[in-house]
Structure 1
Amino acid sequence: MTRRSDERAPSDVQSEGPEGGALNHRRNVPFWQTSRPLRAMLVSGVGFAALVALVGTASDGVVDPSVALAFCLVIACGELARITLPGNRESAPIALAGAIAYAFLLSVGGDPVQHGVGQVVAVVALGVALGELPHVAVGRTPRVEDAARRVLVALLLAASFRPLAEYLSLTEPSILVTLLMTVLVALAWLVDVAVSAVLRAERLRTRLWVAGRDEARAQFATGVAISSSGVLIALACTVTGLVGLLVFSAPLLVSQVAFRRHAEVRRTYLETVRALSRVTEVGGYVENGHSRRVSRLAHGIACELGLSERELLELEYATLMHDIGQLSLREPIAGGATVLASPREQRRIAELGSAIIRETGVLDNVAELVRRQCEPLAGDGDEGVPPLGSRIIKVANAFDDLVGDSGDAERRTAVLERLRMDTDSEYDPRVVEALAGILNRS
């Protein structure tokens, strides 16, 4: 079976979905060229601040160079060992904890430290840059917005804490100091969540409040672990010296390994679903790339309509397996286009596919989306209107069944108008208009 033009090798696609599932083709452009203005503003603003801090620190001289070097190396190692969490989120727990600790550092082994805000930003930025170099050397495109967020957190904490510590002559740990650090790091976490939500909403073109809720939920556990570790390292170093930097980084390393394993399990699960979705293509029941194209369209539509990250993940599973019921057919449908089959045959395929998915025992919501994907807008019987995910699958599947991998703009427009003509009975008009918005942008 020949490979169609819409397919690429795994190295040619980039994940942007909730689990890295909505595949977007990489463009051969430098990473600094972007159509996302908010991302560009963040990266350029933080980059300028880091450059000013580096130049200022170099001209004024480094205060406590051995301490600065130790924290810089820890941050660099943490950046080198960064992880990718569910939702395609990049995190560097050890690097960020080290940055927080250096911003809060009062003394090392009883000797007060005198570095200012500029040196904190310079050390953190240098450590992040050094940790990124090995990734760049092996051809991995840097996630500059995530690195910029880590430097921004250090900048906010240093700018709020160090002048206050100097004004109040804070040199030793106390309840007041601990409380102040806790409040400031909590506020910095909220700012970081807000920034990441804005970037996510801009990248996925989803609603800001939905992105904010998803980011807060996704980053809460790691945020607590990183923030508490950063505060503990800063307080411990006042007594134990730089040994505290290593001792209190160890628990965070264990947590990072656990987070990494969790992310790998979920990634493996998603890859299994993707492989299963290919069975209908390999068997000749549907066109090559059909499931992935439907998944991309459905993901874009769902983001337009403001679905949460959990709903996006369930929808991705459902779209990848929405045609798996065709495996029960004696004769494949011509071209695999279920939209051209009779309503009775469509329901039979959907129900058989749902039954197969329910056998997993853990994807009941996905099975329900697949089961009701071919129902009319008002639903069948007493069950009422189908779930929004099912209505999205119905529109995305019908569009790809009629368009396929064709790039003909006139054909796409004609199919879109055909879907609009049936919005009073078959298709959800909101879903169809969201699809129109995606097509207009592309």
Structure 2
Amino acid sequence: MGGVPALLVVVRGAAGLLVTVSVVVTLRTGPVERSLALAFGALVAVGELTRWRGPQLREAAPLGAAGALAYALLGEAAGRPTHHGTAQVVTVVCAASLLGSVPHIARGQSPTLDHLARRVLTVGFAAVCFQPLYNRGVFDSWVGPAYALLLVALLTLTALCDAVLAAALAHARTRWPFGPLLRDELRALAGIGSAVCATGAVMALAVAAAGLWALPVFCVPLLLTQLSFRRYAAVRATYRQTIASLARATEIAGYTPVGHAHRVAALGLAVGRDLGLTEPELTVLEYAALMHDIGQLSLVDPVPAGATAALPPAEQRRIALLGGAVVRQTGVNPQVATVVERQADPYPEQPRAARIVRVVNAYEEKARDAGPGGALAALEELRLGAAGDYAPEVVEALARVLARGSLTAPAAG
């Protein structure tokens, strides 16, 4: 597959067109309320400077997002109406985001361009929904709690549109199914997404009542939330590294080829995404795939090349049960141990993650040393055995994943 996916071209083009029109309009009419523009621009830039990526975190720059949304929905400042309009909102947010992204661009971090396009389109949507109507006096009768609820409703609608856009971008880049990606994005709204929306609404209301001094005060809760997510991500990363180290025990002891567990985990995750597993299910699948061979450490005589798929079913189940017992002793999520234990059961009785581990492990064992054409031969062998040994839907998902990435045999350790 060559070139940039069409959807990415459309999204980037739409964002570029919106920015171009906004800059032209702003330059033609002249910027207004420059102190507000500078203050919110600085907030967005700082938010982008602190942008990062981590597990379970969909919004990479929550402070920048909250500041941008607050500026888009800002109607008053210290009791006086504002007149900055949609074009100036987009121009300020784009300029500040670009300024804050300079270090990330210099380091070659990606997808910076898609992140900026998503930010511009999301903020543009919020501004279009609010600024023209506010400037025409449509919201003059909305006071007190009604006005606050209006901002919350607009932010909720914006967050939903952003979730759809984020899922569409991820689908275009990875070709994973759109439905599960959207479901995960919507689930993330209950975490950092709700914090971003709440902070954006509070900032807009606070500046309207008290002026710009309220901005730094109401940034603190979101900064603390972002710090908590950083710590959570660090714990998750350490946890995964521990599991990866345990998975290497079979390689170090000579029971399995080098890299086998990681190849099974990577391919298993791709198959899981194709089948629509949720993020928590994918985490269980990854950990189980990494540790699926750990039961071999209990064997007196190693299985040749660690190829358990060729063993009799009873022996496969014995090794799986031994592996599950070891996993339970490590304190890992009990669901991981269950998947390891049941990877050799008849597939109609297996949980979906165990079906995936079994199919991917068998494919990797059959294809890794088969040379040219080995991947196709291994896949065909799995299809022939799907009626009794392997789940047909998993085998077909594996075929789709391999077709998207070209059918090549896994690299031998």
Q: Indicate whether the TM-score tops 0.5.
A: yes
1:182-208 deviations in Å (ceiling 9; x for gaps): 111111111111222223344444433
Report what 2:356 is aligned to. Answer: 392
CA contact (8 A) 1:78 1:92 kept: yes
Aligned amino acid, residue 89 of structure 2: V
**Cα gap change, 1:362/1:295 in structure 2, threshold over 3 Å: closer, same or farther?**
closer
Matched with 1:107 is 76
Alignment of 1:313-324 (within 5 A): 313-324=283-294
User: After the TM superposition, which residues 289-300 of structure 1 pair with which residues of structure 2 at under 5 Å, given as runs?
Assistant: 289-300=259-270
Which amino acid counterpart does residue 78 of structure 1 have in structure 2?
G
**Residue pair 1:75, 1:95 contacting (<8 A) in 2 also:** yes
2:57–2:229 CA contact under 8 A, matched in 1: no
2:397 equivalent to 1:427: no
> Contact 1:90 / 1:146 at 8 angstroms: preserved in 2?
no
If the length of structure 1 is used for normalisation, what is the TM-score? Answer: 0.86
Q: Which amino acid aligns with 1:311?
A: E
Q: How far apart are residue 35 of structure 1 and its match? A: 4.0
Asked if 2 retains the 8 angstrom alpha-carbon contact of 1:350 and 1:371, the reply is: yes
Q: Counterpart of 2:168 in 1: which secondary structure?
A: helix
Contact 1:34 1:40 in 2 (8 A): no
Query: Structure 1 residues 221 and 377, CA, compared in 2 at 3 Å: closer, same or farther?
Result: closer
- Deviation string, structure 1 residues 294-341 (Cα, Å, up to 9, x no partner): 112211222222222211111011001101111112222211111123
C-alpha deviation, 1:437, in angstroms: 1.6
Aligned partner letter, 2:35? S
Aligned ranges 1:264-413 → 2 under 5 Å? 264-378=234-348, 385-404=349-368, 408=372, 410-413=373-376
Say whether residues 1:167 and 2:131 are aligned partners: no
Question: Is residue 72 from structure 1 mapped to residue 30 from structure 2 by the alignment?
Answer: no
How many angstroms does 1:170 deviate by?
Answer: 5.3
Deviation at 1:427? 0.9
* C-alpha contact 2:324 2:340 (8 A) present in aligned 1: yes
Cα distance between partner residues in 2 of 1:203 and 1:141: 12
CA distance in 2: counterparts of 1:99 and 1:88, whole angstroms = 19
Secondary structure of residue in 1 paired with 2:258: coil
AA partner of residue 250 (structure 1): V
CA distance in 1, matches of 2:156, 2:280: 25
The list of structure 1 runs, each at least 4 consecutive aligned residues, that deviate by more than 6 angstroms after superposition, is none
Per-residue deviation at 1:124? 0.6
Q: 1:281 touches 1:288 (CA, 8 Å); kept in 2?
A: yes
Query: What is the CA–CA distance in structure 2 between the aligned matches of 1:131 and 1:47, rounded to whole Å?
Result: 18
Map 1:38-57 to 2 at 5 A. Answer: 38-57=7-26
Name the CA distance, whole Å, in 2 between partners of 1:267 and 1:406. Answer: 34
**Structure 1 residues 275 and 147 mapped into 2: Cα distance closer, same or farther (>3 Å)?**
farther
* C-alpha contact 1:347 1:374 (8 A) present in aligned 2: yes
AA aligned to 2:202 is L
Distance 2:208 2:21 in 1: 29
* 1:323-381 Cα distance to aligned partner (Å, 9 max, x none): 11111122222111111233333222211110011113342111111111122334xxx
Consecutive unaligned residues of structure 1, counting only runs of 5 or more, are: 1-26, 28-32, 379-384
User: 1:194 is matched with which residue?
Assistant: 164
Larger mean Cα displacement after TM superposition, 108-117 or 81-90: 81-90
Residues in 2 aligned to 1:222 and 1:244: alpha-carbon distance in whole angstroms: 21
Question: CA-atom RMSD, angstroms?
Answer: 2.1
Query: In structure 2, what is the Cα distance between the partners aligned to 1:185 and 1:406?
Result: 55
* Correspondence 1:83 to 2:52: yes
Q: Which stretch of the first structure deviates more once superposed, 390-399 or 99-108?
A: 99-108
The CA deviation at 1:173 is: 5.9
SS in 2 for 1:262: helix
For residue 115 of structure 2, what is the aligned residue in structure 1?
146
In structure 2, distance between residues paired with 1:422 and 1:406: 18
Q: Structure 1 residues 315 and 34 mapped into 2: Cα distance closer, same or farther (>3 Å)?
A: farther
CA distance in 1, matches of 2:145, 2:176: 42
- Aligned mates of 2:240, 2:16 — CA distance in 1: 35
Match of 1:24 in 2: none
**Contact 1:93/1:222 (8 A) holds in 2:** yes
Indicate yes or no: 2:192 matched with 1:229. no
The number of aligned residues is 404
Q: For the residues of structure 1 that align with 2:179 and 2:53, how far apart are their CA atoms?
A: 23
State the SS of the aligned residue for 1:301.
helix
Q: Give yes or no for contact 1:290–1:404 (8 Å, CA) kept in 2.
A: no
Q: 1:320 to 1:362 in 2, by over 3 A?
A: closer
Shift of 1:71: 0.8
Instruction: Determine if the alignment matches structure 1 residue 37 to structure 2 residue 17.
Output: no
Tell me the alpha carbon deviations over residues 4-38 of structure 1, each in whole angstroms, 9 at most, x when there is no partner.
Answer: xxxxxxxxxxxxxxxxxxxxxxx9xxxxx854332
Alignment check: 8 A CA contact 1:374 1:394 kept: yes
Gaps of 5+ in 2: 406-413
Instruction: For residue 343 of structure 2, give the secondary structure of its aligned residue in structure 1.
Output: coil
Who is 2:381 aligned against? 418
Relative distance call for 1:169 and 1:374 in structure 2 (3 A) is closer
Equivalent residues of 2:368, 2:374 under 8 A apart:
no
Q: How big is the shift at 1:420?
A: 1.4
| Aligned residue number for residue 20 of structure 1 | none
Distance, in Å, in 1 between the alignment partners of 2:370 and 2:59 is 35
CA contact (8 A) 1:106 1:113 kept: yes
Measured after TM superposition, the shift of residue 155 of structure 1 is 0.5
